[in-house]
Chains A and B, each alone.
Chain A
Amino acid sequence: MDKKGKSIAIDAVDHVAKGGLLNRRLFLNSAIATTAALATVRAAYGQEAVGEGQDDWTLIPGSSAELYGSRSRFEEELVKRRLTPMTDEFYNLRLTKYTARTPLDHMLGTITPNGLHFERTHQGIPDIDPDQHFLVIHGMVKNPLKFDINALENYPTVARQFFLECSGNSGTLWSETPTTESLQAIHGLLSGAEWTGVLLSTLLDECGVSKDAKWIIAEGADNGMMTRSIPIDKALDDTMIAIRQNGERIRPSQGYPMRLFNPGFEGNTSVKWLRSIYVTDRPVMSIQETVKYTDMMPDNMSLQFTLEQDVKSIITRPSNAMSLKQKGIYEVSGLAWSGKGRISRVEVSADGGKTWGDAMLQDPILPKMLTRFRIPWQWDGGPAILQSRAYDEFGRIQPTRNQLITARGRKPTYHFHAIQSWGIASNGEIKNVYA
């Protein structure tokens, strides 16, 4: 211990007590101060210190506990991305940039951190004062009632994990030529989270909903007042008014202070910034359920109210976000989900769908939530085509792209849920291909 004492080159004023205790102001919470402090500490340790060779973060005390946590400064580049960058002229008219997609290539589990949950708005994110916001439930009910966030917080709540997927997700795969966009751009309108809220059935009960009710019409308080019709059987089943996401109040981009959440349904139906639920016997036929979110079939008839997201899976590793550096063993891993219930099986193919092997499904396998699958794969350095195919507990099977297009043509832009293929070239490069 003596050897430390020898080469102390620290100002006498820095000592506050014997035994090497230094002034607490030595470590200020700024980079400059830290560097200065570090120099002092290094000097204090001297040439023969046993800590020689240790990293700075081991040698100096860290910063104080944060009152609201932030991620490492080395992770700040991991962000959501928009799809095709539009021109400035476009955004000048559009006023808002209206999508941001989850970096699925960096997600190894099933829960998306709140800051990376995908966003899609039509007319921007409103800045709602929760004290002035309320939800009114009216129409075919005995008592029209209103609920503010404080009232909702007092009900018995449910906390459940669900995926949320925009029905426009993977939409570029309808196009004739395979897109060169990234995994994040193709499939990033998909996230998974724990949503906590009050079951809508609880509130409808309290209002005394009529037996003749068949639909509810949900409207948001945002600019443009997003509006969707939801069948009453869904509304009385697992639909909730969500007030928390992954443990914290839902963020403004997700509908603060309250949103509708329809587990398994296309994302747009889970109306954010919810402020009105009108109980009725018919759909309102809003723009979002007639002009948008409908798909034209080969006979020019359009499918409307394709609400439940079909069984689907994607491989997130490897993907075109990376390339393979050498032959050898890799883990093929991805996500599978079904808007109806649980995933029962996922198969993976490395030869473009000729042969399939069962992937391991990671627990827990929850209904209407992302399920992580994994399978080891030996790459021999030759060309390969990786695909995944999901099954759900209701016997639904994810179709090939050809099967989907044969059944529904190529005019749709929404609800693409077919198998997607990553083509691996001999040089290890990975591309989205049609196989």
Chain B
Amino acid sequence: MSMPKTLPKSLLFTALLMTMQPAMAQQPHFGVPASQADIDKSFWSIFPDGEFLPDGEGTADKGKELFEVNCNMCHNLPGEDDPTKNQIGKLFGIKDKSGKTNLQQTIGSYWPYPTTVFDYIRRAMPLVAPMSLSNSEYYSLTAYLLYENGVIDENQVINKDTLPKVKMPNRDGFINAYPDIPEKYKTRFK
């Protein structure tokens, strides 16, 4: 869109370089080719349509065991109500999204995409050692979190084909505010 805006500037620089160093005809190029290994090390994103989901699979029962060992020290199990752990991040137990402030919103009540669960817990959890489990273990934990939030059945196998198809309760609860906030939420009057 604003690509043309940057062109004159780079042309100017090129012109400058040309007067200084006739041998260099382009704007400087210092990037070096990135290998697949470079990309794999740096890029962990999973898209809502499932792109980049890895092989492997898991289920809620395996996820429950993993959760008790790796996650329960900081997050309450369903039914537990340790207030400090609730402050860290409440993962279960809220179904109704209305009237709740953002801080209390959980996977079942608020998260629009199931892929975000896998993406986030793999890159960031357990907090003490992110990425310390296998992809199948992260699938199992994802299954467990979705199951305990009432989003999937207990026996549903979660993998790269099934996960993107899980429909989240609040899937349609978001409005894009870029580039501008919808008229009805605007405040720009005197």
Chain B residues lying within 8 Å of A304, measured Cβ to Cβ, are: 174-177
8 Å CB contact of B13 from A156, A236, A413: A156
Chain B residues lying within 8 Å of A418, measured Cβ to Cβ, are: 187
Chain A residues lying within 8 Å of B176, measured Cβ to Cβ, are: 304-305
Residue A42 at the B interface, CB < 8 A?
A: no
In the bound assembly, the distance between CA atoms of A201 and B13 in angstroms comes to: 14
In the bound assembly, the distance between CA atoms of A213 and B74 in angstroms comes to: 40
In the bound assembly, the distance between CA atoms of A301 and B97 in angstroms comes to: 10
Task: Tell whether, in the assembled complex, residue B116 and residue A291 are in contact, meaning their CB atoms are under 8 Å apart.
Answer: yes
Taking CB as reference atom, which chain A residue is nearest B125?
A224
Taking CB as reference atom, which chain B residue is nearest A218?
B45
Residue A206 at the B interface, CB < 8 A?
A: yes
Residue A117 at the B interface, CB < 8 A?
A: no
Task: Tell whether, in the assembled complex, residue B34 and residue A199 are in contact, meaning their CB atoms are under 8 Å apart.
Answer: no
In the bound assembly, the distance between CA atoms of A194 and B28 in angstroms comes to: 24
Residue A38 at the B interface, CB < 8 A?
A: no
Residue A72 at the B interface, CB < 8 A?
A: no
Residue B2 at the A interface, CB < 8 A?
A: yes
In the bound assembly, the distance between CA atoms of A294 and B173 in angstroms comes to: 11
Task: Tell whether, in the assembled complex, residue A146 and residue B102 are in contact, meaning their CB atoms are under 8 Å apart.
Answer: no
* Shortest distance from the beta carbon of B82 to any chain A beta carbon, whole Å: 9
Task: Tell whether, in the assembled complex, residue A236 and residue B1 are in contact, meaning their CB atoms are under 8 Å apart.
Answer: yes
Task: Tell whether, in the assembled complex, residue B181 and residue A303 are in contact, meaning their CB atoms are under 8 Å apart.
Answer: yes
In the bound assembly, the distance between CA atoms of A306 and B13 in angstroms comes to: 35
Which residues of chain A (338-366) have a CB below 8 Å from chain B? none
By size class, the interface of chain A is 35 or more
Task: Tell whether, in the assembled complex, residue B102 and residue A408 are in contact, meaning their CB atoms are under 8 Å apart.
Answer: no
Task: Tell whether, in the assembled complex, residue B187 and residue A285 are in contact, meaning their CB atoms are under 8 Å apart.
Answer: no
Residue A326 at the B interface, CB < 8 A?
A: no
Binds B, one of A12-20, A89-97, A252-260: A89-97
Task: Tell whether, in the assembled complex, residue A286 and residue B45 are in contact, meaning their CB atoms are under 8 Å apart.
Answer: yes
Chain B residues lying within 8 Å of A94, measured Cβ to Cβ, are: 88, 127
Task: Tell whether, in the assembled complex, residue A411 and residue B102 are in contact, meaning their CB atoms are under 8 Å apart.
Answer: yes
Known A-B contacts A93-B73, A145-B33, A285-B116; A276 and B39 likewise in contact (beta carbons under 8 Å): yes
Residue A163 at the B interface, CB < 8 A?
A: no
8 Å CB contact of B39 from A138, A224, A287: A138
Taking CB as reference atom, which chain A residue is nearest B16?
A156
Task: Tell whether, in the assembled complex, residue A136 and residue B173 are in contact, meaning their CB atoms are under 8 Å apart.
Answer: no
Residue A242 at the B interface, CB < 8 A?
A: no
Task: Tell whether, in the assembled complex, residue B124 and residue A224 are in contact, meaning their CB atoms are under 8 Å apart.
Answer: yes
Residue B19 at the A interface, CB < 8 A?
A: no
Taking CB as reference atom, which chain B residue is nearest A201?
B6
8 Å CB contact of B34 from A144, A236, A295, A399: A144
A-B contact count (CB 8 A): 213
* Shortest distance from the beta carbon of A121 to any chain B beta carbon, whole Å: 12
Which residues of chain B (55-98) have a CB below 8 Å from chain A? 73-74, 84-85, 87-88, 97-98
Task: Tell whether, in the assembled complex, residue A397 and residue B189 are in contact, meaning their CB atoms are under 8 Å apart.
Answer: yes
Task: Tell whether, in the assembled complex, residue A296 and residue B102 are in contact, meaning their CB atoms are under 8 Å apart.
Answer: yes
Task: Tell whether, in the assembled complex, residue A227 and residue B31 are in contact, meaning their CB atoms are under 8 Å apart.
Answer: no
In the bound assembly, the distance between CA atoms of A89 and B83 in angstroms comes to: 10
8 Å CB contact of B119 from A147, A286, A303: A286
Residue A221 at the B interface, CB < 8 A?
A: yes
Of B34, B46, B73, most A-chain CB atoms within 10 Å: B34
Known A-B contacts A143-B33, A276-B39; A302 and B111 likewise in contact (beta carbons under 8 Å): no
Taking CB as reference atom, which chain B residue is nearest A199?
B6
In the bound assembly, the distance between CA atoms of A231 and B179 in angstroms comes to: 9
* Shortest distance from the beta carbon of B90 to any chain A beta carbon, whole Å: 12
Of B31, B111, B185, B186, most A-chain CB atoms within 10 Å: B31
Task: Tell whether, in the assembled complex, residue B84 and residue A93 are in contact, meaning their CB atoms are under 8 Å apart.
Answer: yes
* Shortest distance from the beta carbon of B70 to any chain A beta carbon, whole Å: 14
Task: Tell whether, in the assembled complex, residue A414 and residue B102 are in contact, meaning their CB atoms are under 8 Å apart.
Answer: yes
Residue A278 at the B interface, CB < 8 A?
A: yes
Chain A residues lying within 8 Å of B119, measured Cβ to Cβ, are: 227, 284, 286-287
Enumerate the 3 nearest inter-chain pairs by beta-carbon distance, A residue then B residue, closest first: A145-B31, A399-B187, A276-B42
A–B complex contacts, Cβ < 8 Å, 18 sampled: A90-B84, A93-B73, A146-B32, A155-B28, A199-B6, A201-B6, A219-B44, A276-B42, A284-B45, A284-B119, A285-B47, A285-B115, A285-B116, A290-B111, A301-B174, A306-B178, A412-B102, A413-B102
Residue ranges of B at the interface with A (Cβ–Cβ < 8 Å) = 1-3, 5-6, 10, 13, 27-34, 38-39, 42-48, 73-74, 84-85, 87-88, 97-103, 105, 110-113, 115-116, 119-120, 123-124, 127-128, 130, 173-179, 181-182, 184-190
Residue ranges of A at the interface with B (Cβ–Cβ < 8 Å) = 86-87, 89-90, 93-95, 122-123, 134, 136-138, 143-147, 151-152, 154-156, 199, 201-203, 205-207, 217, 219, 221, 223-225, 227, 231-233, 236-237, 275-276, 278, 280, 282, 284-287, 290-292, 294-297, 300-308, 310, 395-397, 399, 403-404, 407-408, 411-414, 418
Q: A136-B43, A205-B6, A276-B42 are in contact. List 14 more A-B contacts (CB 8 A).
A: A90-B88, A95-B128, A156-B28, A202-B6, A203-B31, A227-B44, A285-B115, A287-B124, A291-B116, A294-B174, A300-B98, A304-B174, A307-B177, A412-B102
